[in-house]
Chain A
Amino acid sequence: MEIASLTIDKIRAGLLARSFRAEELAAEALGFAEEANPKTGAYLHFSPERALAAARRVDEKIARGEDPGPLAGVPVAVKDVIVTSGIRTTCGSRLLEHYVPPYDATAIIRLEEAGGLILGKTNCDEFAMGSSTENSAFGPVRNPVAPDRVPGGSSGGSAAAVAQGTAVVALGSDTGGSIRQPASFCGVSGVTPTYGRVSRYGLTAFASSLDHIGPFARTVKDAARVLGVIAGRDPRDSTSAEAPVPDYTKALDGNVRGLKLGLPREYLKDLTSESGSLIHRGVDVLQQLGCEVREIGLPHTDYAIATYYVIATAEASSNLARYDGVRYTFRSADSATLAEMYRNTRGDGFGAECKRRIMLGTYVLSAGYYDAYYLKAQKVRSLIARDFSQAFAEVDAVVAPVSPFPAFRLGEKVDDPLAMYLSDIFTITGSLAGIPCMSVPCGRTAEGLPVGMQILTRHFDEATMFRIADAFERAGGVN
């Protein structure tokens, strides 16, 4: 079995033809992943018992002649910010190194009910704060395409696992680009669905008005299938949306003729890099497929980073307050008082980036600053969202870069937090608007580094996003 080239359809066909059993596939996939993992460090730990038990349930269903589910036997990697009952969930943090959650995230329950096999948990920036996975307390992840480079972040381990072939699909989380940017750096598809499309029950909260769970896959179709499984209303997440979940694979017929695509002039004006020229070539391909392309304006783009880093850090400073040394495993020794225990635990437990964001978030929410920062940013956020709703009155989708540059070298940007923040410009706007957006592979630079093209659509119109990405993939992308 060639684990690294499996797709959801191939696995299903093999299982139903009795070419292999899910349990055999699980054992082989686990063996391959454990052997290949030292090259990238994509996984923090594996969950063989759980994967094998899930595989046996798939085999039993097949033996009884039942449908084994849309993700039957599919090896899945899960970012270690999504809780898994009985399996350590560290969030890439020293604070949670030994934390074993007592419950499963809704996305995990849905994946397993659909027949998916959870192989293990993937490395990420601490509490999903970062753009390179270098902020993990457990060491960085190497990009499988170029081992001296980062996989992107914060869901770098999930992107690397799918790119390396040690998982067929993966789950990540995205607050300002943490799925799309690593997908683009590693050359796979990564999807941030509409805000509210997927339940966040069991996703460790970073910035609650911006957090999403979404899939990674090597094909657009596989990403669409995973989203179809995990999407939909969940009574345990009051922010999950009631909207019906269509069968996304029905949109994957290659027909994009007549779709109107908008190119934001604010994104492309300064983008003269190789990444920019690949995006232009990608747009040419879509035009040849029958899309109508026009320039659009997203005039508040320049304010997105500032808006995001106020809102996201304010919410993070509140969400991370729960790590106080009382409930979640880690407590600093030798504190005489409760207050001292809080300060010591948090001072010892959080890494530099988390501390920086807690400090910024606490500052912007502190007495006298709320209106000047948080309220102001919320107002600008509504202007950024309005930019998109005005654009979508004219076009069916917006096509954009994911990152100003391809994967950078390990260590290259760690010392300049603002520069790292500024590199999130193309992904943050869509996050603030709460619209669906994905990265689809769009060729490679002369050095062989993958570049991703971003496709953004109206709220709850993931189908059109997948339609365009799939047609682009079918046409061979660029190169």
Chain B
Amino acid sequence: MKISEQEVRYVAGLANLRLSDAEVARFQADLDQILSHIDKLNELDTDKAAPMSQVLFETGDTATLRLDVIVPPLGNQAALANAPESGAGYFKVPKVIER
């Protein structure tokens, strides 16, 4: 197994995902299969390859910067319109305590 049940639960915690026991078992099997396939990448020597962290096209260094012009913001009411819970112009959430 590429990934243990404990690791699956740990990763779900990092991702803030509540998983059922059945989901944990299922994803352990799925991730094992997929990670085994991904191991294929280790066949390649990439010491001399640069990571493709940008999808490259020829452009000047500052070409992607927009002009610093003030535009009207969304507005408080519109921004809160999809909030499951809001009040006094804010998003409302349950009390924050340590995990």
User: Smallest distance from the beta carbon of B71 to chain A beta carbons, Å?
Assistant: 9
What residues of A have a CB within 8 angstroms of the CB of B59 in the complex? 241-242
Chain A, interface residues (CB within 8 Å), range: 35 or more
Residue interface bits A432-444, CB-to-B below 8 A is 1, else 0 = 0010000000000
What residues of B have a CB within 8 angstroms of the CB of A13 in the complex? none
B50 nearest in chain A by CB position:
A382
Contact A459–B37 (Cβ < 8 Å)? no
B1-43, CB < 8 A from A: 3, 7-8, 11-12, 14-19, 23, 26-27, 30-31, 33-35, 37-43
Q: Given A305-B37, A359-B11, do A330 and B84 touch, yes or no (CB 8 Å)? A: yes
Contact B34–A375 (Cβ < 8 Å)? no
Interface residue? B51 (CB, 8 A): yes
Q: In the docked arrangement, what's the CA distance between A358 and B12, Å?
A: 9
What residues of B have a CB within 8 angstroms of the CB of A340 in the complex? 94
Which of A221-229, A245-253, A306-314, A449-457 touches B?
A306-314
Residue interface bits A278-313, CB-to-B below 8 A is 1, else 0 = 000000000000000000000010110111011000
User: A residues engaging B (CB < 8 A)?
Assistant: 98-100, 102-103, 194-196, 209, 235-236, 238-239, 241-243, 300, 302-303, 305-307, 309-310, 317, 321, 324-331, 335-344, 346-348, 350, 352, 355-356, 358-360, 362-364, 366, 373, 375-383, 385, 417-418, 421, 434, 459-460
Q: List 23 A-B pairs, Cβ < 8 Å.
A: A195-B55, A238-B64, A238-B65, A241-B57, A306-B38, A306-B39, A307-B41, A327-B91, A329-B84, A336-B94, A339-B99, A346-B17, A355-B17, A359-B15, A359-B17, A363-B31, A380-B41, A380-B46, A380-B49, A381-B51, A385-B52, A418-B37, A460-B57
- 5 closest A-B pairs by CB: A347-B18, A378-B51, A331-B84, A379-B46, A382-B52
User: B residues engaging A (CB < 8 A)?
Assistant: 3, 7-8, 11-12, 14-19, 23, 26-27, 30-31, 33-35, 37-44, 46, 49-57, 59, 63-67, 74, 78-79, 81-85, 91, 93-97, 99
